[in-house]
Amino acid sequence: MTRVLQISTPFLPITPNLGYGGTERIVYLLDKELSKKGISLGVVAPMDSEPASRLFPTIKNSIGVSGILDESQKGPGEMYLRLDHITRSIKHANDNEVDVVHIHDDNMFAFGEFIKSPSVLTLHTVYELFWENSLHTFTENAKTKLIAISNSQKKIYESNGYRVDFVVHHGIDEEQFSLSEKNNYLLSLGCIHPLKRQEDVIEVSRRTGLDAVIAGNIGNNTYFREKVLPFIDFDISNETDKFNAYLELPSLTRPKIVYTGTVNDKQKEPLYSHASAFLMPLGLEEPFGLVMVEAMMSGTSVIAYNRGSVPELVIPEKTGFVVGGLEEMIEAVNQVSKIDPSSCRVNAIKRFSSKRMADDYEKLYKSVK
């Protein structure tokens, strides 16, 4: 039997409910499914974590994501915590009987040669935030094998000189999402940032006559203040029940722009399931995009710019529309009634369940063991 030890990041705890954190969410779900298979040895993560299996603790508390979203908030203390996490992760990997070490922390790529067991690393980030291949001596013959989360991401890394051995699409827990009757609003969920182009969501709302519900943490204060905040009609970020708070808002003579703030799993589920469409006007080569899968799992059509992994995830006229820009996004909003929500959900479960993800990884582990 293959024994797998996952190494998570130091940024967020591994828990069942996360308001933010795509990587940590994947680690939790993968550990849960691998535990069912009896092959999870546990998860290396900060002490405030609660994985489904066993916790191998590193630092006392997770660092948080502010330093990831805003470089100006980084300090020397965070660097030392990252190093502490790496050191303890290597110790856990070497002190236990492990067949495969599955790393999710990009910072650990340079330290793979110090891990005794075979190791793989899932690339959760865009290439621009990874190790610069031309600047380091270890990258060409790195012991750790790389796993891309989309074919699009694989091509980008390989075009920059890396060898990517595997591609495994993310999976999510379908039981957290459900079908509901649709309401006339457009949903956007993600970090408020110029690369996520929430201003395009606002423009689509204005020109289609549908409300826009914008959810997510603020990753760039200047962008939020200049491009989003001036157009917000209602801020319900202090409300616990985001969906019902939206329903109770007064009508306007024009479509409403509503900001919900950050949302947790319980809050976002009804926002997804009741939305007419989920908009993803990307300004970057998105490696994957869990929010698109969550929307489709809720039977909600995804309308996304043709960037990064979008063509791999969205099936035109079955689970959404892949568009070339703002004008095509506006046209697609008027076509979402053609997509059956039930079929959209069934398709998403088949392609993106956490069980399917674990099955794919189990095959991968056996090949590197």
What is the distance between the alpha carbons of residues 114 and 7, in angstroms, rounded to a whole number?
14
Give the pair of three-digit tokens for residue 81. Answer: 């915590």
Per cent of the chain over pLDDT 70 is: 96
Which of 58-67, 122-131, 197-206, 260-269 is modeled with the greatest confidence?
A: 197-206
Confidence of residue 20 (pLDDT cuts 50, 70, 90): low
Q: Is the pLDDT of residue 11 over 70?
A: yes
Task: Write down the pLDDT at residue 69.
Answer: 47
Q: What is the DSSP letter of 11?
A: S
- CA-nearest of 69, 36, 342, 34 to 220 is 69
β-sheet bridge partners, residue 316: 320
Q: Which of 62-66, 248-252, 356-360 has the lowest mean pLDDT?
A: 62-66
Task: Write down the pLDDT at residue 190.
Answer: 92
What is the distance between the alpha carbons of residues 212 and 252, in angstroms, rounded to a whole number?
13
Looking at per-residue confidence, does 113 or 22 come out higher? 113
Q: 291: part of which helix (H) or strand (E)?
A: helix 290-297
Give the pair of three-digit tokens for residue 226. Answer: 């200049």
Q: Is the pLDDT of residue 76 over 70?
A: no
Q: Encode pLDDT of 199-224 as tens digits.
A: 999 999 999 999 999 999 998 999 99
Residues 6 or more apart whose CB falls under 8 angstroms from that of 248 comprise none
Q: Is the pLDDT of residue 72 over 90?
A: no
Confidence of residue 19 (pLDDT cuts 50, 70, 90): low
User: Helices 341-352 and 290-297 meet at what angle, rounded to 10?
Assistant: 130
The answer to whether residues 127 and 150 touch, using CB atoms and an 8 Å cutoff, is: no
End-to-end CA distance of the chain: 10
What is the distance between the alpha carbons of residues 55 and 60, in angstroms, rounded to a whole number?
13
β-sheet bridge partners, residue 167: 148
User: Helices 354-368 and 22-37 meet at what angle, rounded to 10?
Assistant: 70
The answer to whether residues 71 and 48 touch, using CB atoms and an 8 Å cutoff, is: no
Q: Is the pLDDT of residue 1 over 90?
A: no
